Amino acid sequence: MSGTLAAARPEVREFTATVDRVDGSEIVLDETYFYPEAGGQPADRGTLAGVEVRDVRTGPDGVVHVLSAAPDVRDGDEVSGVVDDDFRTYCMRAHTASHVLYGAGRHLLEDLGYGGFDISEGKVRVDFTTTTDVDDGTLVELERLVNRAVWDSREVSWEELPVEAAREREEVAFNTKTEEGVMADAESVRVVTVEGWDWAACGGTHVSDTAEIGPVTVLSRSNPGEGMTRVEFAVGPPAIRERAANHGAALAAARALDGNVGALPDAVARVRDERDDLESELAALRNEVLDARLGEFDELRTEGTDWLLGSVAGFDANAVGERAKALAGERADVVVAVGERDSPFVVVASEGEPHAGAVVDALTEEFGGGGGGGPPFAQGGGLDADAEALLDRLRDYVA
């Protein structure tokens, strides 16, 4: 079965090979430098026999090249292959960067293990299994260490080792979840080494020196599962664009806050405190307005029970309900407030007699909607009537 030479000779972009089998738009060669999708690294792009290569995958009888159209070739013909240089280079940089990131994790994270890996057009993700809380400071330090390793121009090499020999080396990380086929029924395993930094079983394509990776910018972190941290980053030109955009945003924010980028944390903290103070003041003022409106409610008395009854606009049911609870027993035995809106609500706060829920039930039985509650508090909504009609019904109920 023919395999791929891409991992062993990632610098090769053009080659000739013999057609072993052609079936419509699918071709198997005696050897190929196209990389088939595997282990989180996407398939190479390019042309074969002058036809666009749309996919490359590993089949039972070798590497299958899926073309955009059936080529004009037969078994035994010699064909030319051209691997897309830009995309291969990007994948090499991205894949090696993921190893460098894992190497940075060796310095910072406890109980470190692989959880997954993927290269996409604009970003790369690496999933760590770790007990360490990857907070903002840790994320920044991961990015710093990665770019330090890039700047240090560390050699990247690979070798085939017997599986047991590789297993005996404690520093070698085995990403058997994502590196498909690395260990399956194999007597040997390919170990990729970033000089003095990282060692991992891997079948992908890599640069020969970390300096070839270029800048790396961490984009985000998330937690896709228990005990797992996902770090997404950009490599090369996308990383430069992201960094420039972030720098521009930071400069704009600093300018808006009459400071500089270095002072942004203090400026943001100051603005946040001012916002919190303003929100507290606004909440107090809104409560004063609401209390004033509730103070204008009609005062009714029946069978020894004092009622406050009226409507309010511009407040939600929760806010009105909290103020009604505070007034029940202080200003009246029962406070009933109707919210003036397209679909009115009603809140009832009571000393317990009459039952607040019974008042709401009387309205929902007649005007639809739903709601309920206990003796001291109940509320309803979705009532098919305007606020004035509800107040008329409530006056009848009180009478």
Q: What pLDDT was estimated at residue 178?
A: 44
Q: What pLDDT was estimated at residue 168?
A: 86
User: Is 90 exceeded by the pLDDT of residue 183?
Assistant: no
Alpha carbon distance 94, 235 (integer Å): 6
Mean pLDDT for the chain overall: 91
252 — pLDDT class (breaks 50, 70, 90)? very high
User: Is 60 exceeded by the pLDDT of residue 181?
Assistant: no
User: Is 80 exceeded by the pLDDT of residue 108?
Assistant: yes
Q: What pLDDT was estimated at residue 73?
A: 95
User: What is the average pLDDT across 65-94?
Assistant: 96
User: What is the average pLDDT across 340-368?
Assistant: 89
Domains of the chain: 14-83 (2.40.30.130), 89-256 (3.30.980.10), 291-398 (3.10.310.40)
Contact by Cβ (8 Å): 379, 317: yes
pLDDT tens digits, 121-144: 889 999 999 999 999 999 999 999
User: What is the average pLDDT across 309-327?
Assistant: 90
Q: What pLDDT was estimated at residue 185?
A: 62
Alpha carbon distance 339, 337 (integer Å): 7
User: What is the average pLDDT across 226-238?
Assistant: 93
pTM flag (> 0.85): no
Contact by Cβ (8 Å): 112, 129: yes
Count the residues in the chain. Answer: 399
Alpha carbon distance 83, 66 (integer Å): 14
Check residues 341 and 30 and name the one with the higher pLDDT.
30
Torsion of CA 96, 149, 244, 141, to 10 degrees: 110
372 — pLDDT class (breaks 50, 70, 90)? confident
Alpha carbon distance 61, 54 (integer Å): 19
179 — pLDDT class (breaks 50, 70, 90)? very low
User: What is the average pLDDT across 64-71?
Assistant: 96
CB neighbourhood size of 335 (10 A): 30
Q: Phi and psi for 240 in degrees, rounded to 5?
A: -65, -45
221: closest CA among 143, 329, 299, 149? 143
Q: What pLDDT was estimated at residue 7?
A: 94
User: Is 50 exceeded by the pLDDT of residue 153?
Assistant: yes
